[in-house]
Structure 1
Amino acid sequence: MTGFQRQHVSKLVPSNPTVLRALLIAVAIVNSATLGYDASVMNGLSILPSYTDYFHLNDATTGLNNAAVWMGTILGIPIVQPIPDRCGRKISILIATIITIFGIVLQAAAQNIAMFVVGRIIIGFGTCLSNASAPPLLAELLPPRSRGYVLGIFFSCFYVGGLLSAIINYGSQNIQSTWAWRLPSLCQFVPSLIAVALLPFIPESPRWLIANGREEHAAEVLAVLSGEKSDDSLANATAEMQDIKSTIAKEEAAYPRNPWKELLSTPANRKRMTILVVFGSMMETVGNFIVSYYLTRILSQAGVTDTHRQTQINVIIQCWSFAVAIAGSFLLDVIGRRLQTLIGMVGITVTLYMLGAFIKVYGDSTDTAKNYGIIALIFLFQGFYAFSITPMTSLYPTEICQYKLRAAGIAVIKSVGASFGLIMSFTMSFAMSNLGWKFYFVNASWNVIFTALVFFCFVETKGLQLEEIALKFGDDFTTEGDDDGSTEVVKVGETHLTKGQLG
């Protein structure tokens, strides 16, 4: 029993499933760390006087610098679906990394606000493509028992990048030149380079290969994923490949038009679209934007104005958020996607109301104990967000969309999130200045609406194969000619599960 000889899959891809899974987790970590570093670097730079003084920032220019990455994300939306679907998931990650590194160099070398903003726009363009390519690749390579926590880890490791950014900013604050902010900007390229270095060691998505007529290659990938344990592994993988091919063919027959048109073509897809829009809105508007981009402002409102203390708190928040997000990632398959999100939303809403009240009553206090009470609420808020929304960000949109609609669905959620991110970037600085503590009450109040939408709209997907989740939305597929010669029919809205659905 020597196993088969590879014809398509690189020998660099390990045949040991445990090692391969570890590499896929590493891909999740470094791609997410790139996003986390990029988002958090602005938070850290805003604390550094060398950055604010160099660009002579005010509310308007601060908003512009923060909004630039969202402009790039919106510009990247049109390529988010065609490049991963036409070129493959791995090539898309490579293209995204090259774009991102180019933007990083421009940002680090910026001589004025215009150059800085252009660099940020290019970074947003690249990270948009990366974040739309890596999650589908991981979801289409991983079995259900691993998919939940690995894709949960994907965005949870956002905080690894945030922590790295906070530490570098903390260390660079004493540099007596513009390198105090140029160095943290330049170090953004490190996770990107690691992501490219890992690509040769992982296979392409078998579903993408099947959809593009490369069935022999897809069968080899499936055999490698199973461990290549015997000469029969390729035959078993070929049978599995045929099942996936059959499902993709049924999806193509059910949804023959362009993916963008199909997103609103049926009740099932309109339900998906509703969830994508709701979740995309939530990701940037439930209050996390405050901590990610305006921590300096909120700490100042809490009475903590010392730069040294602010950078320390930034580092500690990133550590705390990462630990909670990892715990949340592993609990997704225990608590369930929907319930965990509801728990997080209730916690986020309550802590925002409390934060607004505490800042109103104690914001001008010089009492250290009262200031730390406000800081404790910031940690609680960030904990609830990291526990629920963070691990769901890359997992849920990938799960609820079928293969044909997956890239387009991710493009939708990215466009909605980026649009709200852009709006928040421009308005947050003015809102926090003009409304003060009232802003947190306003934010918490619209979170009540989001919580209700999660309760009524979200669908539980834990433990199901990607092809099986379609049944939860009421898709109608007919499978003929099973191995036992029978015909299995699955109708829209049936409450029972089909054969193999528990696998």
Structure 2
Amino acid sequence: MPEQLGLVGRWVPRNARVITILLVAVATVNSATMGYDSAMMNGLNILPQYKDYFHLNNATTGLNTGAMWIGSFLGALLIQPAGDKLGRKNAILVAACINILGSILTTTAHNIGQFVVGRVFVGIGSELASGPAPALIAEILPAKQRGSVLGLYFTCFYVGSLVSSGINYRAVDISGTWAWRLPSIIQAVPSLLAIALLPFVPESPRWLINNNRSDEAREVIAIIHGNNDVDDPVTVEVFKEIVTVLEKEEQNNPEGPWKAFISTKANRHRLFIVVSFGVMVEMLGNFVISYYLGDMLTQAGITDSKTQLQVNVILSCWAFAIAIAGSLLMDVVGRRVMTLTAIGGMIVTLYIFGGLSKTYGSSDNKSAVYGIVAVIFLFQGFYAWGITPMTSLYPAEFLSYKLRNAGLSIFRTLDSSFGLMASFAMSYAMESLGWKFYIINASWNILFFAAVYFTWVETRLIPLEQVALKFGDLDLNTLHGQSEPEEVDLAAVTEEKSIKG
């Protein structure tokens, strides 16, 4: 009979496949929260019931919309302390509770101030979950499943977006304030689902080992890798490898995670990737399509509002389908190839879009106009193919355990900061530069292409601990040099860390 320790929560299934399904569900509901909120505000800004109740003008409309970005910035700063101190699961729980509080505040709002505060809380909760949730998935699943599940994490952004669009579409027929209060309270549903799922999901074995709960970690590893047998050779080997690498990492980087980022060449390499990718996510051109599609279509000669809305819905469905395909192919094609293909495609399509907008933007040539719309779909397809899945996948993979939540915090902070900046600056740039804006955007994307080509490492189907081999701060002799995992004095390491803390 396989030996079991019985330390993992009694609600956690003892079946690796069921846990994988549960982790997919956790990924879906957490990411859907962000997508729901983004689409919800776009819809509310159209509703006369919402605009009339708050007596909105351009300034207050911008404040209501920008409050989410402010909250996202604050939430990103909390990713590292919450994820490392509380644990991955508890951090997700806290994020879900903050989201629910924000939904309650916006739903019951009687003035603009309360609505904005609620929006800030929603932003904090949504962004806070975007660190521990991918980390939990990456640190539990084996390499052969990690890529597709993590890729689906941010892909499910479109699920929330499409659900929200449908709710807002029907809410326009509701008289009174429930036209906007109903979408606001439904925003709490994904967070409630996340809370309901968490008891059935184990904690990260890496976090458990690092917090002197190695027996519980061994049982989680046995469920995922060793057919529920803690003495199974695969369980023993995986546990040994994790312990060895965590101990080596602590020896190489005894300081806190923030200082560790600049302490070694390998970590500075990781930091460069985190920073460049964090900037890249909002600056490749997708931000313009997400928030200023109407302006792009107008510049391209498509001015009918109904037609623009139809294009927006079809574009969202197209992006969702392509992002799913990209997620499922991440472990087939590889991270670098997919990202380089995506950026290269976006560079070409932006150049084409700029040229077509200049030539046919004021033309009655329907074939040319359809061609411009097709280029927009191609651009969004490239982004959804290679960038959308990588947003949650790659940072959680290439960062070592100690740097993971700190790096995710940096990544999400830059994402939110440039998103906030772009929300104010892009409209002015598009208005002032016209078709030239897309040419400039395509040109700076060449720098992002070079950054990926020269600095990114391939992590396809590689166990998390072995990714360090790619960066040169770990060698095979160290990785396989210890004979018995029990010989590692985890208690001493934990005690030393607590004294330093």
- TM-score norm. by structure 2 comes to 0.89
Query: Which position in structure 2 is the counterpart of 1:65?
Result: 64
> 5+ residue gaps in structure 1?
485-503
SS in 1 for 2:387: helix
What's the CA shift for 1:269? Answer: 0.6
Distance (whole Å) between structure 2 residues aligned to residue 262 and residue 298 of structure 1: 43
Give the superposition deviation at 1:238: 4.7
Q: Which residue number in structure 1 is paired with residue 459 of structure 2?
A: 461
Higher alpha-carbon deviation: 439-448 or 49-58 = 49-58
Aligned to 1:202: 201
Amino acid paired to 1:425: S
User: What residue identity is the alignment partner of 1:468?
Assistant: Q
- In structure 1, the residue matched to 2:337 is 339
| Distance change in 2, residues 1:381/1:274 (3 Å) | same
Q: Deviations over 1:241-261 (max 9, x none)?
A: 233112101100110001000
Q: For residue 75 of structure 1, what is the aligned residue in structure 2?
A: 74
In 1, Cα distance between equivalents of 2:178 and 2:304: 21
Shift in Å at residue 370 of structure 1? Answer: 4.3
**In the aligned structure 1, how far is the partner of 2:263 from the partner of 2:308?**
50
Further displaced range: 430-439 or 346-355: 430-439
Larger CA deviation: 441-450 vs 61-70: 61-70
Task: Report if the CA contact (8 A) 2:64-2:116 is conserved.
Answer: yes
Aligned to 1:492: none
Q: Distance in 2 between matches of 1:106 and 1:369?
A: 48
Is 1:356–1:437's contact at 8 Å kept on the other side of the alignment?
yes
Aligned mates of 1:117, 1:367 — CA distance in 2? 44
Instruction: Tell me, yes or no, if the aligned pair for 1:273 and 1:409 is still in contact at 8 Å.
Output: yes
Q: Determine the C-alpha separation between the residues in 1 that align with 2:293 and 2:223.
A: 46
| Residue-by-residue CA offset, 1:441-476 (whole Å, 9 max, x unaligned) | 222221122112111121111121111111111114
Residues 1:422 and 1:352: Cα distance change in structure 2 (over 3 Å): same
Distance in 2, matches of 1:231 and 1:265, equals 36
How high is the TM-score relative to the length of structure 1? 0.89
Partners of 1:42 and 1:15 lie apart in 2 by 41
Is the CA contact 1:336–1:460 (under 8 Å) kept in the aligned structure 2?
yes
1:44–1:383 Cα change, 3 Å: farther
Correspondences of 1:193-272 after superposition (within 5 Å): 193-226=192-225, 228=227, 232-233=231-232, 237-272=235-270
Amino acid at match of 1:286: L
Compared CA separation, residues 434 and 105, structure 1 to 2 (3 A): farther
Q: Judging changes above 3 Å, is the alpha-carbon distance between structure 1 residues 365 and 164 closer, same or farther for their aligned structure 2 residues?
A: farther
Instruction: Compute the displacement of 1:195 (Å).
Output: 1.3
**Corresponding residue number in structure 1 for 2:490:** none
CA contact 2:4–2:230 (8 Å) conserved in 1: no
Residue equivalent to 1:98: 97
Residue-pair matches, total: 482
Matches within 5 A, 1:327-406: 327-365=325-363, 369-406=367-404
In 2, Cα distance between equivalents of 1:372 and 1:61: 36
By how many angstroms is 1:71 displaced? 1.2
Q: Do the aligned residues in 2 keep the contact of 1:47 with 1:296 (CA within 8 Å)?
A: no
The CA RMSD measured in Å over matched residues stands at 2.4
Of 74-83 and 58-67, deviating more is 58-67
Q: Partner residue of 1:428?
A: 426
Task: Using the aligned pairs only, state the percent identity.
Answer: 54
Which deviates further from its counterpart, 460-469 or 48-57? 48-57
Q: Aligned with 1:404: secondary structure?
A: helix
Deviation readout 1:196-231 (Å, 9 max, x if unpaired): 111111100001000000011111111121364558
Partner deviation per Cα, 1:353-406 (whole Å, 9 max, x = no partner): 222333334334566554433322221111110001101011111111111111
The residue type paired with residue 213 of structure 1 is: N
Question: For residues 98-156 of structure 1, what are the alpha-carbon distances to aligned partners after superposition, in whole Å with 9 as ceiling and x for unaligned?
Answer: 11121123233444543333222211111111001100000000111001111011111
Deviations 1:235-284, CA, capped at 9 Å, x for gaps: 75355323311210110011000100000111111111110011000111
Partners of 2:429 and 2:106 in 1: CA distance: 27
Identify if the C-alpha distance between structure 1 residues 156 and 226 changes in structure 2 by more than 3 Å, giving closer, same or farther.
same
Partner deviation per Cα, 1:151-188 (whole Å, 9 max, x = no partner)? 01111111111111222222233434444443333322
Name the CA distance, whole Å, in 1 between partners of 2:400 and 2:257: 10
Return the match for 2:409 from 411, 427, 434. Answer: 411
State how far apart, in whole Å, the 2-side matches of 1:207 and 1:231 are: 16
Q: How far is 1:438 from its partner?
A: 2.8
Instruction: Return the alpha-carbon distance in structure 2 between the equivalents of residues 335 and 321 of structure 1.
Output: 19
Q: Aligned partners of 1:144, 1:312: CA distance in 2, in Å? A: 40
Any runs of at least 4 consecutive aligned residues in structure 1 with deviations exceeding 6 A, and if so which? none
Residues 251, 354 of structure 1: CA spacing in aligned structure 2 closer, same or farther, 3 A cutoff? same
Equivalent pair of 2:219/2:228 in contact (CA under 8 Å): no
Residues 347, 384 of structure 1: 8 Å contact kept? yes
What is the deviation of 1:49?
4.8
Work out whether 1:175 is the aligned partner of 2:174: yes
Structure 1 partner of 2:441:
443
Describe the SS at the equivalent of 1:467: helix
Q: Which amino acid aligns with 2:149?
A: V
Q: Distance in 2 between matches of 1:105 and 1:307?
A: 32
Distance 1:43 1:479 in 2: 50
Structure 2 unpaired stretches of 5+? 485-501
